[in-house]
Amino acid sequence: MRIAQEERGPAVLLVARGPLIGAEADQLRRRIAKALEDATGSLVLDLTGVPLLDSQGLELLVETTERLIRTGQALKICGTNELLREVFELTEVASLFEQFEDADAAVGSLS
């Protein structure tokens, strides 16, 4: 999995590329933890380049959302494809995530 990071106003934007499964989920978990060490704002996770996820990937997103809620921050997710949205719905976690079409919309929601 490739993960790019950039500061976008009040948010840290992580752009993930590749399937969010197994070891890749652990890689993203470490990257999120590192990004949040220095961040004071929210996290935007761009999943445009993520074709699929497994239970570990889904668990990572849920854990990250819960962690950020406890600290008064937010996780904004953007760029999800139809398969990811369907997984969120079927597993009944869709309501946990604020989802946006693209990173600009997600970052803009923080203003």
- The reported pLDDT for the residue numbered 87 is 95
- The reported pLDDT for the residue numbered 73 is 84
Question: Containing domain of residue 36, as a range?
Answer: 2-108
Mean pLDDT, each 10-residue run in order, the chain (111 residues): 91 95 94 83 93 96 92 90 96 93 92 72
End-to-end Cα spacing for the chain:
30
Please name the residues in contact with 33: beta carbons below 8 A apart, sequence gap of 6 or more: none
Distance of CA 89 to the CA centre of its chain: 16
Q: What global pTM score does this model have?
A: 0.92
Residue 99: give its domain's CATH number: 3.30.750.24
- The reported pLDDT for the residue numbered 40 is 67
- The reported pLDDT for the residue numbered 26 is 94
- The reported pLDDT for the residue numbered 55 is 95
- The reported pLDDT for the residue numbered 47 is 97
Give the count of domains, the chain: 1
